[in-house]
Amino acid sequence: MAHSMRINLKIWRQAGPDAPGRFETYAVEEANPHMSFLELLDVLNEQLIKEGKEPVEFDHDCREGICGSCGLVVNGVAHGPQKRTAVCQLHMRHYGDGDTIVVEPWRATAFPLIRDLVVDRSAFDRIMAAGGYVSVSTGNAPDANAVLISKVDAELAMDYASCIGCGASVAACPNASASLFTAAKVAQFAHLPQGHPERRRRVRSMVETMEAEGFGDCSNHAECEAVCPKGISISAIATMRREYMKAVLSGSD
């Protein structure tokens, strides 16, 4: 079997949104290079429960990098050191015996903390409800091949549509901006004919909601792109700005 290693963890603990938070130090003696980062936390939690201590709370679900539930800042980097990888698919072989790893939650005003490493990302849902859809009720659709879409546009739309809504971009941004998240949806639709009649209303409403939710502005640091587990390009933000300017200048819906 693969050799086991000792991993030291400094983890942010906080009982609730208004409770004081602090780092606690733990050690997992028998970490295995094949285990995932979340499995390391599972092992730690089993250990804590056996010691009569409260386990560390963190959000997780699919553990294959697609649901967007998990999100941890690992040694200062959202989702940890491996490029284009959500923390659930980060494996311990990237660490060595005796390493110390600092684990924190997403930190942003618009993502209030719930407990330990769990935050409330419902602001993302409200941005989507502000316009992240095509207004087409069930049953209204024409034949799927009635509208041609170039392969290039379809692929670009898909690049943006692959956003998993994890919130890493907000956590990594010095301004805690949700621009990459919002722009990914705006840019997806900007490349598709569907929803074209409502594109102006969409971008205005989504951008205004984003601001109202307490996310900061984008000032082109590109930290968001660097940590995005799906590698979504900040070109989305340029598209969003263009769409927004056009919408504002046109003055109408």
Partner 1 sequence: MAPVLDAKIPAGRLQDKWDNYKNSIKLVNPANKRKHTILVVGTGLAGGSAAATLAELGYNVKAFTILDSARRAHSIAAQGGINAAKNYPNDGDTIWRLFYDTIKGGDYRSREANVYRLAQVSNNIIDQCVAQGVPFAREYGGLLANRSFGGAQVERTFYARGQTGQQLLLGAYAAMSRQVAKGKIQMHTRSEMLDLVVIDGRARGIITRNLVTGEIERHLGDAVLLCTGGYGNVYYLSTNAKNCNVTAAWRAYRRGAYFGNPCFTQIHPTCIPVSGEYQSKLTLMSESLRNDGRVWVPKQPGDSRRPTEIPEEERDYFLERRYPSFGNLVPRDVASRNSKYVCDEGRGVGETQLAVYLDFADSIQRLGRNVIEERYGNLFEMYERITGENPYQVPMRIYPAVHYTMGGLWVDYELQSTIPGLFVLGEANFSDHGGNRLGASALMQGLADGYFVIPYSLGHYIAGSRIEAASTAHDAFEAAESEARGRIQKLLTIKGNRTVTEFHRDLGRIMWDNVGMSRTADGLRIAVDEIAALRDQFWQDVFVPGEPTTYNKNLEFAGRVADFLELGELMARDALIREESCGGHFREEFQSEDGEALRNDKDFTFVSAWQHNPDDIRKPTMHKEPLAFENVELTTRSYK
Q: How far is CA 5 from the centre of its chain?
A: 30
Contact between 82 and partner 1 per CB under 8 A: yes
Interface residue with partner 1, options 24, 29, 54, 253 (CB under 8 A): 54
How far apart, in whole angstroms, are the C-alpha atoms of residue 136 and residue 120? 29
CB of 159 to partner 1, least distance (A): 9
Residue ranges in 115-134 that form contacts with partner 1 under rule CB under 8 A: 115, 118, 120-122, 124-125, 128-130, 132-134
Answer for which of 3, 20, 22, 139 binds partner 1 (CB under 8 A) is 139
Dihedral (CA of 22, 23, 28, 33) sign? positive
Q: Is 77 in the site for partner 1 (CB under 8 A)?
A: no
> Whole-angstrom Cα distance, residue 136 to residue 118?
35
For residue 127, report the phi and psi dihedrals to the nearest 5 degrees: -65, -40
Q: For residue 79, give both structure tokens.
A: 């989702």
Q: Quick one: which of 221, 223, 225 has its CA closest to 235?
A: 225
| Cβ closest to partner 1, residue 198 vs residue 225 | 198
29 part of the interface to partner 1, by CB under 8 A: no
Which listed range, 152-160, 170-178, 210-218, 237-245, lies at the site for partner 1 (CB under 8 A)?
152-160
Pure H helices in 4-96: 37-50
In whole angstroms, the minimum distance from the beta carbon of 72 to partner 1 comes to 15
